[in-house]
């Protein structure tokens, strides 16, 4: 077990409940800065372990079983949950519309008029939204007309399928294959389309795809 695996599990637990890590800490009665990046390393730069008490409190506050949290530590990306989810209606627009002005605010959250709504398997992320796929760059995984649900709160890691918006206004569904301080690489699953490379400043935001119609 590695330090970063536990911290990643805490990040994912917060996202699963539509919370930032600060909000998760507050919900559990902890100092809001308990899980901040600055608290994850000591003065010597080495990772710290979160306390067992703080983990117990966040599990109690979110009614999460220890075995589900353990699954997050060992690599699960979502908590298996058969309970009814909090939201069933998600704002929806077409991928082509998403690239025009007025549908997202500066943080990449749905905003403005023009959104439809669709009833789909939902997420606790209050800012989740749905896009209707256009184009063939993600075939055969996503085809024209498929619906994807996107969560701005979900942590994004290499290997995830994401929706990204460029500073030039283009919105695209891709797979994140590399992310460094100087470069972000996005892959089109259809080999007929080239891999795209961006400086971090050239992407306004990048959100994880958490569900797709098939």
CATH code of residue 16: 1.10.260.40
Instruction: Give the domain-ending residue among 16, 47, 73.
Output: 73
Question: What pLDDT is stored for residue 84 in this prediction?
Answer: 46
Banded model confidence at residue 187, pLDDT cuts 50, 70, 90: very high
Instruction: Give the domain-ending residue among 73, 98, 133.
Output: 73
Same domain, 67 and 94: no
Question: What pLDDT is stored for residue 213 in this prediction?
Answer: 78
How much is the mean pLDDT over the chain? Answer: 84
Question: What pLDDT is stored for residue 176 in this prediction?
Answer: 93
Same domain, 39 and 126: no
pTM above 0.85? no
- Residues in CB range of 85: below 8 A, 6 or more apart: 121, 122, 123, 124
Identify the domain containing residue 35 by its residue range. 3-73
Domain-located, residue 80: no
Same domain, 68 and 94: no
Of 168 and 125, the structure prediction assigns the larger pLDDT to 168
Same domain, 112 and 167: yes
> What's the CATH number where 188 sits?
2.10.109.10
Q: Residue 79 above 80 pLDDT?
A: no
Banded model confidence at residue 48, pLDDT cuts 50, 70, 90: confident
Instruction: Give the domain-ending residue among 46, 73, 100.
Output: 73
CB 117 within 8 A of CB 90: yes
Domain-located, residue 57: yes
Same domain, 36 and 103: no
Q: Residue 16 above 60 pLDDT?
A: yes
Same domain, 114 and 208: yes
Q: How far apart are CA 173 and CA 131, in angstroms?
A: 10
Inter-CA distances, 74 with 2, 60, 61, 71, 130, Å: 10, 20, 22, 5, 29
Q: For the chain, what is the domain count?
A: 2
Q: Residue 206 above 90 pLDDT?
A: yes
What average pLDDT score do residues 15-28 get? 86
Domain-located, residue 9: yes
Tens digit of pLDDT for each residue in 93-149? Answer: 888 778 777 788 877 888 777 888 887 665 667 788 989 888 888 888 888 888 888
Question: What pLDDT is stored for residue 198 in this prediction?
Answer: 95
Question: What pLDDT is stored for residue 82 in this prediction?
Answer: 47
């Amino acid at each position: 077990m590695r330090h970063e695996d536990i911290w990643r599990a805490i990040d994912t637990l917060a996202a699963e409940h539509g919370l930032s890590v600060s909000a998760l800490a507050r919900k559990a009665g902890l100092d809001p800065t308990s899980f901040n990046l600055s608290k994850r390393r000591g003065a010597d730069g080495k990772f710290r372990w979160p306390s067992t008490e703080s983990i117990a409190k966040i599990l109690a506050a979110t009614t999460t079983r220890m075995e589900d949290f353990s699954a997050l530590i060992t690599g699960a990306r979502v908590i298996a949950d058969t309970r009814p989810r909090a939201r069933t209606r998600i704002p929806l627009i077409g991928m082509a519309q998403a690239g025009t002005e007025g549908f997202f605010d500066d943080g990449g959250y749905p905003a403005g008029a023009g959104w439809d709504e669709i009833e789909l398997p939902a997420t606790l992320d209050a800012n989740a939204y749905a896009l209707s796929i256009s184009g063939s760059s993600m075939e055969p995984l996503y085809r024209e007309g498929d619906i994807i649900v996107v969560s701005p709160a979900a942590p994004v890691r290499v290997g995830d399928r994401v929706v990204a918006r460029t500073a030039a206004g283009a919105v695209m569904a891709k797979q994140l294959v590399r992310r460094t301080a100087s470069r972000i690489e996005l892959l089109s699953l259809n080999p007929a389309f080239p891999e795209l490379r961006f400086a971090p400043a050239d992407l306004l935001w990048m959100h994880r795809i958490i569900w797709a119609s098939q």
